[in-house]
Amino acid sequence: MKKALFAPLIFAFVTFLLLIIIPNSWVERLIPKQRVSQAATELNPLMFQGKYIQKKMLQDHQYLPIYGSSELARLDRFHPSNYFKENYDGFTPFLIGRGGSISLIHFLNFAEHMDQLKGKKIVFVLSPQWFQPQGADLSHFVPNYSILQGYDLAFNDKIDRKVKKIVMKRLLQFKPVQDDRMLSTLYQAEISNNAMDKRKATFVRPFAFVYRGILTKKDLYYSIAGGIPHKRDISPKVRNKSWAELKHQADLMGKRQSTNNSYYVINAKYNKIKKRVPQLKDSKIGASYGKSDEYLDFQLVLDLLKQSDAKPLFISVPVNGKWYDYIGFPKEGRTSYYKRIKNQIESQGYPIADFSNHEYDPYFMKDTFHIGWKGWVYVDKAIKDFYDNF
């Protein structure tokens, strides 16, 4: 009876042990060759929070990584992933990000791939909504935080020490890092001059190294499985068209899909908020994106990209001006963000495609703050110019 009871536990333990001790090189052979190309538009969180797929992608000159957040999932026919499939220009966009992928999340991801970023062209889409007064909050951090990347940061000796200490201090403010006793011990020793903190880290480090190895193996197994492709609107109607023709197409599509409101918001989105619209009027009086802790986190991203010798293009996306006027969000609270982020990026010598003057451009945005239809046409042109000329 006891043998029957413990047999499944013994079997599970032996299986787990075998999965762990199998050499990584053996597991890599099981990953399909087309796995990277499949992942380009999957927007799979397991890929964002891992390293194998991104490492392979960054090593391949075929791919142009586009980092951002929830706007990347708006895969209409003008979206870069669809536009450049119909109008191939020497690269395939590879999407990295989802809702809540704020600067700290991107920092951890970039830190994971410093070696592969050297000389690599990348596109980074900024969202004004990241720049809340308090900066990154727990609700955005938790679902996007990668334990593997958190541990790899602890063992990363290539990052500038000053930058590393600042980011570790920031990360220790978040509960997932605080509650991880091994990781928080390593971080605390890095930022502290206390001898006891250093001794604790020396004791913990070997165990953390083994755990990091298990997380790396786990990432490889996830890479075998892959994710679920997103629905895409790949249309030959965007093929070999001038930018003026594409903007006209986008206007027509936006007009057809935004018929139930005066804010140029897609019907499906407006239907979800329709009942609350009266209560939202003037609900954001006094708000601003001009002052936020997020600027400090974003500077860490800029510092790391500079050290990595990456070649980024930043995309500054506007908000929906008509909607933001309705909810009372002050114009100054928006323009202060546009100016500050532009100055911050240009001070580092990086190019920025600044679309802040399109707040009131019909169908530039797809809803209250996500880029869409005509906005993607402008982004496509900016990406093409960047890829061809920089």
pLDDT in tens, 35-61: 999 999 999 998 999 999 999 999 999
Cα–Cα distance for residue pair 127/67, rounded to 1 Å = 11
What is the domain range of residue 161? 2-389
What is the pLDDT, as a whole number, of residue 161?
96
3-state secondary structure of 148: helix
- What pLDDT, in 10s, does the model give residues 124-181? 999 999 999 998 899 899 999 999 999 999 999 999 999 999 999 999 999 999 999 9
What is the pLDDT, as a whole number, of residue 144?
96
What is the pLDDT, as a whole number, of residue 31?
85
Minimum mean pLDDT among 6-10, 29-33, 267-271: which range?
6-10
Q: Are strands 63-67 and 121-126 parallel, antiparallel or unpaired?
A: parallel
Average pLDDT, the chain: 93
**Amino acid letter at 168?**
M
The two three-digit tokens of residue 184, written as one number: 């928080």
Name which residue leads in pLDDT, 3 or 77: 77
What is the pLDDT, as a whole number, of residue 20?
61
Phi, psi of 122 (to 5 degrees): -140, 160
- What pLDDT, in 10s, does the model give residues 335-382? 999 999 999 999 999 999 999 999 999 999 999 999 999 999 999 999
Cα–Cα distance for residue pair 313/168, rounded to 1 Å = 26
Q: Domain tally for the chain? A: 1
Confidence of residue 8 (pLDDT cuts 50, 70, 90): low
Residue entry with tokens 């413990």: 6
Task: Please choose, from the candidates 349, 352, 333, 357, the residue with its C-alpha nearest in 3D space to the C-alpha of residue 341.
Answer: 352
Average confidence (pLDDT) over 243-260: 98
Confidence of residue 13 (pLDDT cuts 50, 70, 90): very low
What is the pLDDT, as a whole number, of residue 14?
47
- pTM score, whole prediction: 0.93
What is the pLDDT, as a whole number, of residue 26?
67
What is the pLDDT, as a whole number, of residue 33?
82
- What pLDDT, in 10s, does the model give residues 187-245? 999 999 999 999 999 999 999 999 999 999 999 988 988 788 888 999 999 999 999 99
Residue entry with tokens 């980024």: 312
Confidence of residue 390 (pLDDT cuts 50, 70, 90): confident
Confidence of residue 11 (pLDDT cuts 50, 70, 90): very low
- What pLDDT, in 10s, does the model give residues 281-320? 999 999 999 999 999 999 999 999 999 999 999 999 999 9
